[in-house]
Amino acid sequence: MLKAFSRCGYLDLKMIKENLKIADRRITNFQRDGYIEKVSYLNKETKNAEFSYRLTEKGKDLCTNQLNIENFYRSSSPVHDLVLAKNYFSIKEEYRDSWITESQFRNMFQQHMNKLQVNDHDKWQELNNLWEENLISPPDGGYITNTGTVIAVEIVTSSYRKEEIKAKEIFAKTLKIQYNQLRT
């Protein structure tokens, strides 16, 4: 459960119970102990308040110090992150173990840039300029298939501009990874 939170940000009760098989009592205990918190948000379709859960700082500390979980997904909003979590739970469980967060994609890009700086300075300069102008941007998450294919996932909201989507596409093309968009 804590891994899923660290990779997706928000989870809803159904995801926690059905996908992770966590009992109500355990959820209550994690909440009582201050590791997760229940958060309300407005469902724009139904116009009703709905609830989801996320890690607290105490929960993140537990993950880091006791479970060696790092590179937490930087949460956007419950609506956005629940679409990411739905995708996370839709993939094979073995692929979930290879999940790549946005910060890990950022690190992969930096490693790629370090190699380019030595081997192809012109390409490095071109990409560095795009990066500095925010015209390259890592996706929300992704995973590695059993064939070694990296599949990136970006959750696109109605507020995304074409330039933001293009920045994600350029990122994927640069690292030669498959890119998938999901809409909220």
pLDDT digits (tens, 9 = 90+) for 57-107: 999 999 999 999 988 999 878 999 999 999 999 999 999 999 999 999 999
pLDDT computed for residue 171 by the predictor: 97
- Average pLDDT, rounded, for the chain: 94
Could you give phi then psi for residue 153, rounded to 5 degrees? Answer: -125, 130
**Six token digits for residue 65:** 């110090």
**Six token digits for residue 55:** 């890690």
Total Cβ atoms within 10 A of residue 169: 17
Could you give phi then psi for residue 130, rounded to 5 degrees? Answer: -60, -40
Residue listed under structure tokens 């501009």: 161
pTM of the model: 0.90
